[in-house]
Amino acid sequence: MGSSEQVSFGYRSISPFVEIMDSTLRDGEQTNGVSFLPHEKLMIARMLLRDINIDRIEVASARVSEGEKDAVRMICRYAESNGMRDRVEVLGFVDGRLSIDWINDCGGRVINLLAKGSLKHCKQQLHKTPEEHIGDIMRVLDYADKCHFDVNLYLEDWSNGMKDSPEYVYKIMDSLEKSGIKRFMLPDTLGIMNPLQVIEYFRKMVRRYPDIHFDFHAHNDYDMAVSNSLAAVFSGARGLHVTVNGLGERCGNAPLSSVQVILKDHFEAKTNIDESRLNDISKLVEGYSGIAVAPNQPIVGENVFTQVAGVHADGDNKDNLYCNDLVPERFGRKREYALGKNSGRANIAKNLEELGLELTPEQTKRVTQRITELGDKKELVTQEDLPYIVSDVLKHDAPEDKVRLVSYMVSTSYGLKPIASIKVNINGTDYAADSTGDGQYDAFVKALRLIYKNHLGKTFPVLDNYSVSIPPGGRTDALVQTIITWRNGDKIIRTRGLDADQTEAAIKATFKMLNIID
């Protein structure tokens, strides 16, 4: 796919098209604790091929298990029925006919043959000379040709090979250059390289073998998988290997989403990737793998398009001053403005505008104050919570309240009844009382009853019903809603309190009731 024509980029030439191979279902499944079921592999493969439009997918290692065989068969059947079979690849080994027969039995037609890319691996793992290893590879290639297979070749441990035994790497390449191998795939198997080394080694390969299609396969042990991948493209690589969410052996591989956006935005390189579905594939793999995506993971993290500071929302209101080319709509997402103690009125206004709620400046100020109070108790209030906060503040928190809570303390100890000490202001006068109860809220209400009975000579309404819930539509534990039904003579009063703390929510509902009857 694409052209290998070179275009100028700075002082170096790069390919205008970069082929992307995703190895989530093979290398990604080598993440500790990750094992995809066959139908999960099929769902991921379908989305990668059909929705993300990835160029190639590596879906398994040959001869692993019967379950793996079932998964590869399902994927190959799907790919063949949709004209995509040549985009499905399986890792195979230099084992005579065994790997090719296994892949062939699954319906596959592309083998990614794992050969040794360093003299150390060849001698110490295979216990063979370079000539013997080359002979074994040639026999597999001959059988692959008879089976009408396409062959890509991994030079495992290529990075160490170039560092410690470049003559061995060149000997392998010289022997296989004309063998019909479609792509030579150069892995940094142990994740040891830095971008300068990638540039040096890749340039040597490209200069020596200018007509060969080279892929680069990065590992992230030094947190340089993305930068090393880009260095490879910068030095002539025509293909890159990635995984969704950066899954992979040890520290993982280069993440698909990060590689895609940097290729496009910083290199002006072209790929076939549909960026609008990157978040979807990330969530699918996150769910199946059980490996959570970090909230600050670029492109696909939960928080990356959320502005927290109020000054950022203010700048966006004025001229998108805090936006860059990574606009969320590009990835099927939207920018959000966090609601919390750092929000400020600009964040609140942005959220209110999106919900279609219009408030006066004074009302917005009071809503902001309430959200700041909640933010001191919990990290985040969601946009879904906002309408309930607005309702709670504007309907029941009016400044003309005649009954106000001045201070209170509730405590509970093992084996002892909860105790409440309260001070309230009623029509400008402060009153205090202490009481015990069967629970913290019960102790609080009994102290209130004492004030109403002993100081005011008034009857306190009877609590008829008490319920606690998360506000309808809320998606976080930031808020608790308490609805209390009171009976005051023949009259029924229902009030609601909203807070991060259940007891405080109940206390707020109680004071709303007292201001109604006062």
Could you list the active site residues?
26, 156
What is d(CA 261, CA 274) in angstroms, rounded to the nearest whole number? 11
Task: Give Cα 91 to chain centroid, integer Å.
Answer: 27
What is d(CA 305, CA 316) in angstroms, rounded to the nearest whole number? 13
- Report the b/e string of 403-437 with b at 16+ CB within 10 A: bbbeebebeeeeeeebbbbbbbebeeeebebebeb
What is d(CA 217, CA 154) in angstroms, rounded to the nearest whole number? 9
Sheet containing strand 416-426, strands side by side: 403-413, 416-426, 429-436
Task: Tell which residue, 137, 77, 146, 145, has the closest CA to residue 113.
Answer: 137
What is d(CA 308, CA 344) in angstroms, rounded to the nearest whole number? 9
Beta-carbon contacts of residue 107 (< 8 Å; ≥ 6 apart) = 72, 73, 76, 77, 80, 85
- The two beta strands, 480-488 and 462-469, are antiparallel
Task: Give φ, ψ of 19 to 5 degrees.
Answer: -80, 135
CB 186 within 8 A of CB 117: yes
Element housing 464 (H / E): strand 462-469
What is d(CA 153, CA 115) in angstroms, rounded to the nearest whole number? 7
* Two tokens, residue 378: 């919990």
* Two tokens, residue 56: 């190639």
Which contacts of 444-452 are long-range, i.e. CB under 8 A and separated by 24 or more positions? 444/408, 444/410, 444/420, 444/503, 444/506, 444/507, 444/510, 445/510, 446/420, 447/420, 447/421, 447/422, 448/422, 448/424, 448/510, 448/514, 451/422, 451/424, 451/426
Per-position DSSP letters for 247-309, written without gaps between them: --STT-B-BHHHHHHHHHHHH--B----GGGHHHHHHHHHHHH--PPPTT-TTTSTTTTEE-S
Per-position DSSP letters for 188-233, written without gaps between them: -TT----HHHHHHHHHHHHHHSTTS-EEEE-B-TTS-HHHHHHHHH
What is d(CA 41, CA 59) in angstroms, rounded to the nearest whole number? 8
Cα dihedral 275, 277, 283, 289 sign:
negative
